[in-house]
Amino acid sequence: MGSKPQTDVLRPSGQKALLIDGKKVAEGVLAEVAEGAATLTAKGVKPGLAVVLVGENPASQVYVRSKGKAAQSCGFHSVQHDLPATTSEADLIALVDRLNADPAVHGILVQLPLPPAIQATRVLERVSPRKDVDGFHPFNAGLLSVGDLDRALVPCTPAGSMLLLEKAAAALGVEISGADAVVVGRSNIVGKPMAQLLLSRNATVTVAHSRSRDLKGIVRRADIVVAAVGRPEMVRGDWIKEGAIVIDVGINRVPGDGFDAQGKPKTRLVGDVEFAAASAHAGAITPVPGGVGPMTIAMLMANTLRAAQLSLR
């Protein structure tokens, strides 16, 4: 999936590294999903996505609204369940059970974080693996682990990162197969599934993290660097091998310069990679913002369409 390669990867004036435009790639994914949804709907199956929000976390509310708008733009049946923060775990699981049984719903997304009184693991594992469009259920994690990508629903951020990597590799004329890849970060949501996706493409994969000895040396030998450790600019620019592809998953808010109109200190977004310095060495790199970020919702829509397609098997 994705838009035409020449619009996905750009070389800004005066910059060595190609810039991987996640917004453009995401637009291409959404266009293809909308086309696929229209085809499926014409056959009598309209893809359906249900999003469950518990509590009033402002960031979660923004994410959920964005997901709902994307679902509607793709022509999905879209429903949202807003529950109070006082909702019990039993009531939330009962809602998940109803959505599991609803034939009009092909994808279920329970927005995280959940209130402290609710064990997220229990809720996420209650979602039917066939409707687990976040790709968090142990069943889907297992399918990914054994390389069964035909049946697995892959977590959205790693799936989007992999697509950006493929675009960059094609633009540079390099092969992912056989490349030395380093994933900095070992989370179940990004790091581990990203490593599995790279293995499925025959890369030689090292999973590093904040406690790795000689992290600089590990990163420096990599042809592909995926940074998903959650620390601002932890991966320094001079660690990057000449010509490497850098996929920066991190989104960190740090102090900016000056004050805004309300007199509050300004902030800015940075990734897990020291972008400016890394750009002097990398062959291609994702910016923050505008790189991996837009891909997550796009791949959620792609997973929902895929779940609807798999429901016909």
Query: What residues are annotated to the active site?
Result: 67, 111, 134
The H-assigned helical ranges of the chain are 5-8, 22-42, 58-73, 89-101, 120-126, 138-145, 156-172, 191-200, 215-220, 275-279, 293-310
What is the rounded distance in angstroms from the CA atom of residue 171 to the CA atom of residue 161?
15
Both tokens of 90, joined, read 């039993």
Angle, alpha carbons 200-296-269 (nearest 5°): 115
Please count the helices (runs of H) and the strands (runs of E) in the chain: 11, 12
Residue 40, CA distances (Å) to 9, 235, 242, 312 in order: 31, 43, 45, 10
Cβ atoms of residues 220 and 239 within 8 Å = yes
Both tokens of 142, joined, read 């297992």
What is the rounded distance in angstroms from the CA atom of residue 121 to the CA atom of residue 189?
13
